Structure 1
Amino acid sequence: MSQARSLELPTIPLEIQFFILDQITGTFENVAPEVVKKELGRLALICSAWTAHVRSLLFRRVYIADSNVVAGRFLSLLRRNNHLGHYTTTLAMQSAAALEFPDLPNFLPNLRTVIISSSVFEPIEGSVRPWVGVTHLKMKFCMLSTAEDLWRLLCIFPALEHLHLSGWLVMDPDAPIVIAANAPAIHLKELVLLSSRHHSPHPAVTQLALHDLTVDRLSVTLLAVEDWDASACNSLLCKIGPTLQELELVVDLPEKRIPEVGICIRPCTALRSLVLGLCSIAGSAQTMRGGNLIISILNQISAPTMTTLTFNVNVSSESLTAPLRELPWDKIDDSILGRLGPHLKRVVVRNLPADGPDLRFDEFAGFLKERLVGLERGHLLQFERGGI
């Protein structure tokens, strides 16, 4: 017994401890920077072995406020302590100020993600030094002088693989759009487009459609867009459709107006996966039009390669579930089997809220099994919880 007391308790290897810390800090993505700094400071005080790792976490995601002065101070810090920049993988800035410091990329060799929000860009010149390691670019509610500047901006990131555009993008959306000179071909693994009400990146989307662009996965979200004109998106789909492999559409129909130009996915002849977001359908009129839209999209599918169809739903409350029950699921069942029957391997209904009530989703799953008779009989219907 005394020998047992003298034995040391087993300890978790530091690698696993650091992995746990990484998972904890991974939940800080949408938390204010000052709160993150405070919480990481507390973690650093727990034990000396954690201190160095927490220091790396402090600089893993750097936020630069709307000021050239702040960007300059960050660069000065890196010049004095150049090892700190090696920790940084994400750089978020409230303006494009950091792009004006040509030496900054040299101190951030592991930078992979750049997030620019609420920034008004000056005309972009071709002399800006490239950020060669960046693979992810997210632009949120930014203003470009012209649509052509979007292409010039993308050229600053030659290794770009993932592009997210949301909100305003062009100062004058009615200005003529022309082809940017000497624009190189770009291949993206993922392109995400988000429009909401008057905040639409359509002019930039039209600009993308004019150039040599290929995309593997496209996600389009149209939330409460009052004019609901999908012509810009359709132009892009005509451009990238023949090689597009995955497409996600999330559409919130306007309450009173009929869409002037609807989504056309006929050019997408190489699709392997289609995801339809049904999380924003509410009200009887929207439910009826939503059902017609779903059937219209399904009837456009012409890709013999498509094997997976996914419906993203939100059944976390009765007010969200009731409109989904009213959709014409029997007609949707017929459209899927008639259009995709020979090649389809599975139809997934995914409840996006990971913490949603299981009982409500189980009830909705039972309801769909009774409506999607053909899919259920063919053992194609599957149900999943949580995010993608």
Structure 2
Amino acid sequence: MSRRLLHSLCRTQSKPRQLSFSVCLPTEIHFSIIDHFEGDILRLRRLCLICRAWASHAQLLLFREISLRHDNYERFLALLSTRHYLGRSVLCLHVSSWRLWNEPKLRILDSITLTTSLPNLQALDLAHIALAPDDIAIESGGPQWRFISELQIRFSKFTTSEAMIAFLALFPRLENLEVTQCRIDNLASTGPRSAPLAHRIVLPDWHLKHLALGEFPPTPLVDWLVQEPAELRVDHLRILSVGTDASALNGLLCKIGGQLKHLELPELTSRGRGQQVALSIKPCVVLSTLTFSERSSYDRGHGIIHTLLDIASPSMLRTVSFDIHLDAGYRDTLWEAIENVLIADGAFSALETVEFGMSGIADGRSSFNKLLTAGEHAVFLMKERLPILEAKGLLQFHFESAPTNAEEVNDGRVISDDTQRPSMWPRQIWSRMLWKKEHPPFSTL
């Protein structure tokens, strides 16, 4: 009887209660976690639906970078009229009005200038715009434009040279400027060199970390940069097209060459092939990085050799880089002659790196695409063609982009540098055998 009573008491005895609690993180930690999703629009939109606190912070991240077109800019202006705090979070603004190309005024930019306040705007990207001297954006200009540090103008149209230059002069604090593929209407009939400015437009005291000049507006813009007595400093100059007459660019290099550190040049033809005035980089006395953009096999390296020979000796050049496409006939370039220039007479004694930035896929001319990826083939080829630079340890290879889904079309393997994987001597021997069989030694100049 006592045992039954003891068992019953054990069954009815209450078990110890387990304490349950939840950890409540501070809101600041929540916001720090949300900050890691900046740029992920879909994820930020989902976070806006969880709670009001998350929605307010996620909306600020969503409005860091805004793209306006002809079909959404009115909705954007209406939203800012009711929620003024969102305008303070806009850091980068992209404006494209290709539907309004033929209209006399740039309606989108004028509307933003007059009705909105973007006090923290830092970058402005304009595409397919049309500006005239009597536009509101040129005559008055909102105060928010005066604090922009990055300006990019692409595929745009200006009625006169004054319109383009007066618009650029509205940005006194620029650090990055890119003007590419633009057009000036009145320039075609008068000629690029016979249309001086009607009145003097003062050049701001710019110290540009990056300056990029495209094909169509180089002469009026470059002439203004050269002729204005105001000080202009440029750290990185990118030239997208030189043309047959490089006198304007030579004048710009004479003005900024004393401080220019990085120069990026397009594909250059050899001198004497229809060129009236060739590009000269002799004024670039403190140049430390020189980049060549090789897009096809038309040059074959003659322009590169003449440019390297144009550098004053002894040179302070530490890095020479080449942008090549794996499907653009890069194997036809005279790399042996380029190597001879880089190692001859100690003119480039300060040289530390010769970089190859590669992109694209194989062009299909190789008979061993199934054994080697395009990246491995290019690395082995360059090491064979540049043995002295390879022996000194100066060669470096970088793959800037990869095909869709990061895979090769031919063999389905990811493009990668052979320096990032274990050495595979069968592939190296096979590559050298095929290279010597299909490509006899190139003759130098």
Name the TM-score, length of structure 2 as normaliser: 0.68
Q: Which amino acid aligns with 2:296?
A: I
Match of 2:221 among 193, 200, 204: 204
The match for 1:30 is none
User: Which residue of structure 2 lines up, in the alignment, with residue 33 of structure 1?
Assistant: none
Tell which deviates more after alignment, 172-181 or 292-301: 172-181
Is 2:235 the partner of 1:216? yes
Structure 1 pair 267–66 and aligned structure 2 pair: CA distance change class (3 A):
farther
Instruction: Decide whether aligned partners of structure 1 residues 103 and 79 sit closer, same or farther in structure 2, where only a CA change above 3 A counts.
Output: farther
Alpha-carbon offset, residue 135 of structure 1: 0.4
1:161-198 Cα distance to aligned partner (Å, 9 max, x none): 10010112422222534355250432211101222xxx
**Residues 216-261 of structure 1: CA deviation (Å, up to 9, x unaligned):** 1101113xx8x6443332332222222211111122769xx74444
Report the Cα distance in structure 1 between the residues aligned to 2:201 and 2:220, rounded to whole angstroms: 20
1:110 aligned partner = 120
* Distance across 1 between alignment mates of 2:332 and 2:21: 65
User: What is aligned with 1:333?
Assistant: 339
SS at match of 1:243: coil
Which ranges of structure 2 fall in alignment gaps of 5 or more residues? 1-16, 98-105, 362-368, 402-445
State the secondary structure of the residue aligned to 2:266. strand
Q: 1:266 to 1:99 in 2, by over 3 A?
A: same
Q: Which residue in the other structure is 2:212 paired with?
A: 192
Distance 1:11 1:77, change over 3 A: closer
| 1:220-299 to 2 correspondences below 5 Å | 220-222=239-241, 228-251=244-267, 258-278=274-294, 280-282=295-297, 286=298, 289-299=299-309
Contact 2:147 2:173 in 1 (8 A): yes
Letter in 2 for 1:192: A
DSSP 3-state at the match of 2:338: helix
Instruction: Name the Cα RMSD after superposition.
Output: 3.7
Contact 1:111 1:134 in 2 (8 A): yes
Q: Tell whether the 8 Å contact from 1:64 to 1:70 is kept in structure 2 after alignment.
A: yes
Aligned residue for 1:305, secondary structure, equals coil
Cα distance change, pair 4–194 in 1 and its aligned pair in 2 (3 A)? farther
1:51 and 2:69 are equivalent in the alignment = no
Matches of 2:19 and 2:293, distance apart in 1: 59
Aligned to 2:434: none
Answering whether residue 135 of structure 2 is matched by residue 119 of structure 1, we say no
- Give aligned pairs, total: 351
- Is contact 1:98–1:104 with CA below 8 Å preserved after alignment? no
SS, match of residue 311 in structure 1:
strand
Counterpart CA distance in 2 for 1:116 and 1:297 is 33
Paired residue secondary structure (1:242) = coil
Deviation at 1:377, TM superposition (A): 2.3
Residues 218 and 247, structure 1, Cα contact 8 Å, conserved in 2: yes
Give 1:379 shift: 2.0
Distance change (3 Å), C-alpha of 1:182 and 1:228: closer
Match of 1:31 in 2: none
CA contact (8 A) 2:174 2:208 kept: yes
Cα gap change, 1:7/1:17 in structure 2, threshold over 3 Å: closer, same or farther? Answer: same
| Cα distance between partner residues in 1 of 2:91 and 2:288 | 31
1:78 paired residue among 60, 77, 80: 80
Question: What secondary structure sits across from 2:33 in the alignment?
Answer: helix
What is the letter of the counterpart of residue 373 of structure 2?
L
Q: Which residue of 2 aligns with 1:14?
A: 30
3-state SS of the aligned residue for 1:251? coil
**Percent identical across equivalent pairs?**
29
Match for residue 314 of structure 1 among 325, 329, 333: 325
Tell me if the contact between 1:334 and 1:374 (Cα under 8 Å) persists in the aligned partners: no
Over 3 Å counting, the alpha-carbon distance change for 1:341 and 1:105 in structure 2 is: farther
1:86 Cα deviation from its structure 2 partner: 1.0
1:368 offset after TM fit, Å? 1.4
1:352/1:48 Cα in 2 relative to 1: closer, same or farther (>3 Å)? farther
Give the counterpart letter for 2:336 in structure 1: D
Q: Distance in 2 between matches of 1:66 and 1:310?
A: 40
Query: What code does the residue aligned with 1:326 have?
Result: D
1:359 and 1:10 mapped to 2: Cα distance?
51
Point out the structure with max Rg over C-alpha.
2
Q: For structure 1, which runs of at least 5 residues remain unmatched after alignment?
A: 26-37
Is the 2:149–2:174 Cα contact (8 Å) retained in structure 1? yes
Instruction: Report the Cα offset of residue 52 of structure 1.
Output: 2.4
- For 1:81-160, what aligned pairs fall within 5 Å after superposition? 81-94=83-96, 96-97=106-107, 99-100=109-110, 107-123=117-133, 127-130=140-143, 131-160=145-174
